Structure 1
């Protein structure tokens, strides 16, 4: 493909000319389970129940979704601030003292409630939980937008499906996420068919619905060169709805912010590669979770773009402001605790959170502590004469907030920063 063809394809993707679920696999038709190669070979000759051309495609999960308030920060998460802020100037003048941080459990006593609302407590079956998140108005809107897209695509003979058929379609997707076959059409094979799927809907109907599934009006999609162009326009209603429903669940005391991958084999310009994740290829999401992994809020990374209009009145940078937007659903002055890694951790961010009654703990890059912090260097810590488990702690006061940083020797040097706990209490653990 030449450059012009590539640009045309990207515009089609962004302008909604291709259905959200009608995606094509990039490269080889890789089976879900590598041990099913023999099964796939037998299935090639089994066409008794299949009509039309045998274009077997791997089932492609739809990427997850995000909240309108967060989209501007998501588009510019990796932008680097060029000018030093007032907080950065204060950071350079910090006075660090080598001493232990005084930990007091009363300072982190949770002032909120972790009891679930009655609307959730009365739910008893998996189906009722599904309906709580995927409400009837939500499903009706998908049917409406899919019908609109069908008319836009083929005005003379639009393919319209009902809400009941949409629920069956989602049921099939759930089954497919649990029972992995080499290709989508394998579930309808005479020899190796999966009865709950085969009896729910014909294969041709399923494939038509997959091509027509739509969530937003293409006529409202702003062009690529528009200042308010949204790369995730086609998913925007789903993003907003799910984030509202997720955050309606009672928020627990201890929270975590991190990246996750929505694995996919589809070829897409938003696809990312994260080598340290179990699923290395897919759509990158930033997620606010509790300790059990339930997501209260999430955004999809939609590209590295400068966005001068994003709100950043606290001079936290794009990443810090994204954390603040994530935590906007968290009640203040209740002693919530948030954990993050060194991508997010900075002293100005932790200071602002502490002033709002949210404690924090995270690994931190050594150069974010300022030159006045005398923590040992990596070369000093990793000397053979320094036993594993050794640590060194420094404390400071940043704009009225007591903070601590600890250097700890594990397989490598680990540097932590916190506003509520230091190295103490110290104990022994068994390593495997």
Structure 2
């Protein structure tokens, strides 16, 4: 497969998805499924492997993201119905003031996003954005985009995220210095891509129609007596705390022992979320006077609006897998590798290419670092820590439609495909380019 053909094929597929969904108003799942199959066949994949590849990609993504969305939505529902979201909203609003709610959401995202995946942090915190937007008559995008930007920055640039840890190993970088430089680069990047950009774009995007997912967080009777701020925050942060415990298991216990395995187990994303959700059933449910039947109704009714999200997330994973299995992704990556550019830029470019080709930021970061790592060993004067950061910045570039986060943002916020591109894809692109720019600036002073 020639590079020109591979790039043209990928470009045509992405353009077809945009036109068919945005202009012809076709069902997004059908479009993603059909375009994925046509792309694979056009790339020369055997027909008997085309469908299997799509199913494998969709299943791999949904195996994790589907569980996260379901549990996170239940936890968010309990947070909303108990008045916990209102309590956090009132406390944060009083601390920051109405004019700086977007900065508050960014700060919350940076803190919660440190030890959790983007998908987990988003479903945990998006109810707060809905409630804040309604209470203070603020555009939802002005709060949701800073939240998403902060979560994306920490996911890409600050350990202990799995992809970041893989990059640390590939580049033989120092963990402490990576965290320090990651925070130093990540904060201004999140500010520019979050509150500042949101204030520019939010007035220009009109969200039409009703948002079924948002209504379940806002169209409800607020309890007269709200739960305490401490109990609410501890409940929301409990999965974060459990995941953090799992990440330091090898430090506080001997590897392979029963205690070590137990800490790793409760620190697993799915286990941490299910434990936190069960905790919310008591502290935000039974302890607040809700009956078991009412809690069951809450958890059942909140899952309905997530069905389409899960389908689209899975379809995006299937599309990405077709690009990889058909060889289109590898061909495009080889083109980037053959370019003679500075090593920091090359690592960033490789991550960008893989990101566009397969959609996953984690795959983009791990793949790019595995390619650029051996090159770094032969280079001189390049900071391994900055290599981690630029690879992470490139891994979130463009927020493409084969990324689960694209469809998650679209459906949760009630956006159209063009609106999602103008907002969320733009946020991810700003993170990628500002992250690279700040790293290149730092490179002038450290090595």
**Normalising by the residue count of structure 2, what TM-score does the alignment of the two structures yield?**
0.20
- Give 1 or 2: higher helix fraction: 2
